[in-house]
Amino acid sequence: MLTGIKITLDGLMEAVEIEDGNHVSGIQNAIDARFYDVVSIRDGLDLFVDDEGVYTSRLNPVLTGIAQSFGYAGVLFGEGVFFAVNPAEGSTHSLNTVQIATLASRWVDAASSRHTPVAAGLAFLAH
C-alpha cells in the first residue's frame, strides 16, 4: 500500500492510500485526473498534479502555498497528492512520519495565510 497526503480544492488535507501495483490509475483516481504531472519537491517529496488542471479545474491556493514553501515558483490548479520519492531511482514510496509532519506544518501555514501565493502569481502574469 502506498500512503500519501492529498490537498483538495477546498484546502483540506487528506490521507490517500493506493494499492501496490496500481500506482498510475490510483494517482489518477486520487486527484480526479486523466493525466498527471510530477512536480519534484525538496526533502524527498514528489507532488502529483492534474496535467489538465489549468483547463479543467481552478486555482488551488493552499496547494500552491505548500509547494512554494519548498521553493516551487509556479501556481497550481486542481488537487494534488504528495508521495515520497527515492531520488536515486525515481521510485515512488509512502510518506514517512517526518515528511507527514513537515507537510502538515506547511499546510497549516498555507491554509491560514491571509496573503495567498496565487495573488503574487496572478500579479506577475498581469504584467
Torsion region of 114: left, alpha or beta (phi above 0 gives left; psi -120 to 50 gives alpha): alpha
Taking the C-alpha atoms of residue 101 and residue 73, their distance in angstroms, rounded to an integer, is 23
Asked if residue 125 has pLDDT above 80, the reply is no
Per the structure, the complete domain to which residue 43 belongs is given by: 2-126
Q: pLDDT band at 123, cuts 50/70/90? A: very low
Predicted model pTM? 0.86
Instruction: Band the pLDDT of 114: cuts 50, 70, 90.
Output: low
Higher-confidence residue of 87 and 99: namely 99
How many domains are contained in the chain?
1
Mean pLDDT of the chain: 87
